[in-house]
Amino acid sequence: MRLLIAIINNPANVFYILDEFYQEGIKGSTVLDSMGMAHIMAHHVPFFAKFKEEDQEPGQNKTIFVLIQSDEEREKVIGAIERIVGDLNQPDTGVVLTVPVEFCKGAGQIFEDCGSSE
Give the DSSP per-residue string, 69-101.
-SHHHHHHHHHHHHHHH--TTSTTSEEEEEEE-
pTM: 0.79
pLDDT in tens, 8-55: 999 999 999 999 999 999 988 999 998 877 666 666 666 555 555 544
Q: What's the number of domains the chain is made of?
A: 1
**pLDDT at position 56:** 47
> Domain containing 14 — which CATH number?
3.30.70.120
User: What is the rounded distance in angstroms from the CA atom of residue 73 to the CA atom of residue 2?
Assistant: 10
Give the domain extent around 20. 2-35+61-100
- Does residue 95 lie within any of the structural domains? yes
Mean pLDDT, rounded, for 55-63: 69
